[in-house]
A and B are shown apart, each in its own frame.
Chain A
Amino acid sequence: DAGVTQSPTHLIKTRGQQVTLRCSPKSGHDTVSWYQQALGQGPQFIFQYYEEEERQRGNFPDRFSGHQFPNYSSELNVNALLLGDSALYLCASSSDIGPDAWSEQYFGPGTRLTVT
């Protein structure tokens, strides 16, 4: 059973460019959350997608946007990249059904984004 997968593993972009990161959730999961982890920090919640809609959003600017597809996979888009966007971007999936709905989030290995 494949866990959460993310692509690409590493990415280098130039300030001002746009980037798209991808995530496939664990089999059976329908909810995807995205987190940004700066070096030496704990992950910060960006947003969560369920039924192809953004359900919750953290304190991130509109440059950060996302999408969820009918197969539950998800994309994170960041426009007008800033140096401060350099971080590890983590995707987590969970299920919205059952007694442990959303409670256990399975994390992918992350995408390391470097903005120069």
Chain B
Amino acid sequence: AQSVTQPDIHITVSEGASLELRCNYSYGATPYLFWYVQSPGQGLQLLLKYFSGDTLVQGIKGFEAEFKRSQSSFNLRKPSVHWSDAAEYFCAVVPYNQGGKLIFGQGTELSVKP
């Protein structure tokens, strides 16, 4: 079945530590890939997106993500986490030929320890 999977429901990291949030997708053709962040009481903000080309994508707020076709993964990384990064992170895809229809994963809640 077509799906987007975020294996980690909740992650806690210390401030200043590195971060990696996992995302796997299951689609026949490589979809368009996105990471969004949602702070409490806020809407969703786009961090970065991948359509094609360079598999390492830079986003806002110091985030980056790497597309690995062989692993059907699009993991989000940040070298040094700040307390303000605490939020819910969603991986999302737009399946091939379904322009505009975002399919979201379940989300990963990030907590940051001082």
> A residues touching B (Cβ–Cβ < 8 Å)?
4, 31, 33, 35, 40-45, 48, 55-56, 58, 90, 92, 94, 101-110
Contact = CB atoms under 8 A, between A and B. Distances in A.
B100 A43 contact: no
* A42, A56, A90 interface centre (most CB from chain B within 10 Å): A42
A104 B99 CA distance: 11
B56 to A, nearest CB: 19
A105 B43 contact: no
Contacts of B90: 42-43
Given A104-B46, A108-B43, A58 B32 contact: no
A43 B51 contact: no
Contacts of A104: 46, 49
Given A41-B107, A43-B90, A109-B43, 12 more contacts: A35-B102, A40-B107, A42-B4, A45-B102, A56-B100, A92-B102, A101-B99, A102-B99, A102-B100, A103-B49, A103-B51, A109-B42
B43 A45 contact: no
Contacts of B92: 42
B104 A44 contact: yes
B106 A42 contact: yes
A104 B4 CA distance: 18
Contacts of A40: 107
A64 to B, nearest CB: 15
* A43, A94, A109, A110 interface centre (most CB from chain B within 10 Å): A43
A110 B43 contact: yes
B51 to A, nearest CB: 7
Contacts of A94: 100
Contacts of B107: 40-42
Contacts of B100: 31, 33, 48, 55-56, 94, 102, 105
Given A42-B90, A43-B90, A56-B98, A107 B103 contact: no
B8 to A, nearest CB: 14
Interface in B73-114: 90, 92, 94, 98-107
A107 B92 CA distance: 14
